[in-house]
């Protein structure tokens, strides 16, 4: 059973990285357009944000299950902070996804929050 949960965790973690890549990649492709106020929320950002959110929930469930078996402690504060950040990204993306152009402040906040989410995962 422990091998099965490890496989689920690893596959979900890979999908989580794919979501990060889609969200950050979509942001980076629009950075030049941000200077001219023509940046828009591309579908990759929407799909990446949803992928990160859903796989993050699955990873949390897997961590809780593994902690009950192995006995390590899950950092609920970190999970709460990362959930708030990805929910903020999702709200911004969903509100602005159909607009022809997004203000640089709104668009920049998506990139900043994405980097903050990655930083939290790496450092804590």
Whole-angstrom distance, CA of residue 55 vs CA of residue 15: 7
pTM of the model: 0.93
Provide the residue-wise pLDDT of the chain in tens; the chain has 124 residues: 789 999 999 999 999 999 999 999 999 999 999 999 999 999 999 999 999 999 999 999 999 999 998 888 999 999 999 999 999 999 999 999 999 999 999 999 999 999 999 999 999 8
């Amino acid at each position: 059973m422990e091998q099965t949960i490890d496989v689920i965790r690893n596959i979900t973690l890979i999908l989580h990285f794919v979501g990060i890549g889609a969200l950050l990649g979509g942001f980076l492709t629009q950075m030049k357009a941000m200077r001219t106020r023509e940046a828009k929320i591309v579908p990759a950002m929407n799909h990446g944000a949803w992928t990160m959110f859903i796989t993050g929930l699955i990873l949390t469930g897997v961590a809780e299950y593994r902690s009950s078996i192995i006995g390590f402690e899950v950092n609920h504060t970190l999970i709460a902070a990362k959930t708030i950040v990805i929910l903020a990204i999702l709200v911004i993306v969903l509100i602005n996804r159909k607009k022809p152009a997004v203000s640089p402040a709104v668009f920049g906040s998506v990139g900043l929050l994405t980097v903050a989410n990655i930083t939290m995962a790496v450092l804590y």
